[in-house]
Amino acid sequence: MNASTTLTPAEPVAGCRDADVLRERGQHEVFCGLTGIVWLHRKIQDAFFLVVGSRTCAHLIQSAAGVMIFAEPRFATAVMEERDLAGLADANEELDRVVAQVLERRPEVKMLFLVGSCPSEVIKLDLKKAAQRLSANYAPDVRILNYTGSGIETTFTEGEDQCLASLVDCMPATEPEAEADLLVVGTLADVVEDQFQRLFDEMGIENVAFLPPRRSGELPSVGPNTRFLLAQPFLTETARKLSDRGANRLAAPFPLGAEGTTGWLKAAADAFGVEPMRFRAATAAPEARAKAATAKRRGALEGKSIFFFPDSQLEVPLARFLSREMGMVPGEVGTPYLHREHLDPDLALLPDTVRLSEGQHVDRQLERCRADRPDMVVCGLGLANPLEADGMTTKWSIELVFTPIQGYEQAGDLADLFVRPFDRRTRLEV
């Protein structure tokens, strides 16, 4: 078997590239972009996230962070009060005071994000200007950036997109004549990042960097010789900004499952002129491991139908993995936002029977879901227990963002996330 055959469909599929999309508006049962803080602050170890918002924002992050309570987490909320709104207090002075308070408590912090929220945006508090002003005050010890995580602008993982986009502005420029470099964009678990680094090393691709970096001082550089691979499907704005700085995106399916990971790595290998034999030498063993791991679990999922409520934009690549590698039958695949260009390689591999939907009217979508009566529903925690009570098997979607699922070694774990709810249903006799 050579490298290219792994990308040839086992059975021909028409693909969903040109499929009609059901676009809906109404109640969205989704998180806002502030939630990204919960995983971003674990990734960038010397960054602090200060939300400028209301008590609701503080309550949301607390609820989303759940038991991830630390003595002092590296995030907090500057809760706006009556006097801030009535103009009695100068918002900028107040912000300066709160930032000083944060940095005094946490002297180890090197990067501070002022995160915009719905309330701060509706009253048009200029956090960008505030970030510039504060950056000047605290340079060179602390860099202060700004992005929006508001619900009126961002859905769940789009918060990460906005955060990384704000980092792009700070990335140093590479020399025009510098050697080509590869940038992997999107938060990955450290263990996954290390695996990909080893694979690129074995293929002989040098100059590989990751965005976001683990420490704020290690921001990679970018320039016309930068090729970037998106590791996550929700990075529209970040990709746009990287392109503005001359970098070129490599089109690839997202690295979920054996097929997705091989396709993703192959895009880099082709761009960097890696010999097919060398590519195979690097990927053959882990790909075989991934296939063995998924094959073991295929029986539990094969032929089962699955319905995705919109959540993270991971839905399309997940549906592709589950249909192609696990034999599941995706019915409706909902996503909060469908970026056709970034998802093109994944859409091409989805069966044309899939109903794609973008946006949400939760009540109508629930009606469709009940009518479909799928074997499994992927949805948020606000819907999961009510649907279970209706006799449906659910997989709560947020776990797919918090668990390492990308790459070869995680393919089996990813399949397991979907196997477990069925397994549990079979075991319980009460």
> Footprint of other proteins on this chain (CB under 8 A)?
25-35, 52, 54-56, 58-60, 62-64, 66-67, 69, 71-73, 76-82, 84-85, 89, 91, 94-95, 97-98, 101-102, 118-119, 121-123, 150-153, 155, 363, 380-386, 388-389
Closer CB to other proteins, residue 17 or residue 106? 106
Closer CB to other proteins, residue 36 or residue 223? 36
Beta-carbon contacts of residue 280 (< 8 Å; ≥ 6 apart): 2, 3
- The least CB distance from residue 30 to other proteins, in Å, is 6
- The least CB distance from residue 349 to other proteins, in Å, is 30
Residue closest to 3 by CA, chosen among 257, 263, 260:
263
118 is in an annotated binding site: yes
Burial of 59-82, coded b for 16+ CB within 10 Å and e otherwise, reads ebbeebbeeeeeeebbbbbbbbee
Round to whole Å and give the CA distance between 228 and 222: 10
- The least CB distance from residue 329 to other proteins, in Å, is 27
Residue closest to 223 by CA, chosen among 181, 167, 187, 273:
181
Sheet with 355-359: list strands edge to edge. Answer: 21-24, 355-359, 329-335, 305-308, 376-379, 394-396
- The least CB distance from residue 109 to other proteins, in Å, is 14
Residue closest to 267 by CA, chosen among 236, 303, 228:
228
Closer CB to other proteins, residue 151 or residue 330? 151
16 is in an annotated binding site: no
Q: Contact at 8 Å (CB) between 40 and 149?
A: no
Identify any residues that bridge with 335 across adjacent strands, giving them in sequence order.
Answer: 358
In Å, what is the CA distance from 236 to each residue of 67, 151, 233? Answer: 31, 17, 8
Give start and end residues of each alpha helix (H) in 114-256: 118-122, 127-138, 158-168, 190-203, 236-244
- The least CB distance from residue 62 to other proteins, in Å, is 6
Burial of 249 (0-12, 13-18, 19+ CB in 10 A): buried
Closer CB to other proteins, residue 79 or residue 348? 79
Closer CB to other proteins, residue 294 or residue 335? 335
Instruction: Provide the residue type at 378 as one letter.
Output: V
Closer CB to other proteins, residue 76 or residue 171? 76
- The least CB distance from residue 418 to other proteins, in Å, is 20
Round to whole Å and give the CA distance between 41 and 48: 7
Residue 145: enclosing H or E segment and its boundaries?
A: strand 143-148
Burial of 20 (0-12, 13-18, 19+ CB in 10 A): exposed
Burial of 115 (0-12, 13-18, 19+ CB in 10 A): buried
Q: Quickly tell me which residue has 């970096």 as its tokens.
A: 213
Closer CB to other proteins, residue 254 or residue 308? 308
Closer CB to other proteins, residue 360 or residue 410? 360
Burial of 429 (0-12, 13-18, 19+ CB in 10 A): exposed
- The least CB distance from residue 380 to other proteins, in Å, is 7
369 is in an annotated binding site: no
- The least CB distance from residue 53 to other proteins, in Å, is 8
Closer CB to other proteins, residue 80 or residue 185? 80
- The least CB distance from residue 157 to other proteins, in Å, is 13
Q: Which residues are annotated as a binding site for [4Fe-4S] cluster?
A: 32, 57, 118
Binding residues: 32, 57, 118
